[in-house]
Structure 1
Amino acid sequence: MIDYTAAGFTLLQGAHLYAPEDRGICDVLVANGKIIAVASNIPSDIVPDCTVVDLSGQILCPGFIDQHVHLIRRLAVAAKQVPRRARRKWR
């Protein structure tokens, strides 16, 4: 059982969460450095004296997970699927 009266709670609100899959806009409740809850809408008054951090418009992802992508490859494949006539007009 979690002691919600203890100090050290932080609520990260409104971040776009990748963990490692896309979870969408989520709130994350952290207690003494450990994630204890992830949900779409955690109320800011869930814990007394909780530190609330607004991460609206920010991306949140865990460490030690490779989150990078290679758009060049994806764009090259997509470009091959565009008809040649349309590619000439685009340039």
Structure 2
Amino acid sequence: MSQFNNQKYDDIFDSFTTKYQQKISKEILKSYLKKIQGMTKGIESAIFKSKDENIYNYLLIAKAEETEADFQLSIDQNNKIELINFKRIGGSEPVKNFV
């Protein structure tokens, strides 16, 4: 959360699996995260919702008033990110799935 709020997108990219990094460029990831940052104004808190195998589901409470986001995160056995996905951001159009 602090990396996102502090716009440390390079650090976020570096925390992904090699396989994920090969799917998406750092520049595309930065563009996507900047768009989310603009909608949310940052993340204030996260509430764990559920876990299904290695996919964790959270409700993120944004700093922007009355804005929440459904967020999925998949972590591999080495604690590297395999997937991030903002499924919905309250008060906005559904965000296109990001692989």
Which of the pair has the greater relative contact order for Cα pairs under 8 Å at 6+ separation?
A: 1
Higher helix share: 2
TM-score by structure 1 length? 0.23
TM-score by structure 2 length? 0.22
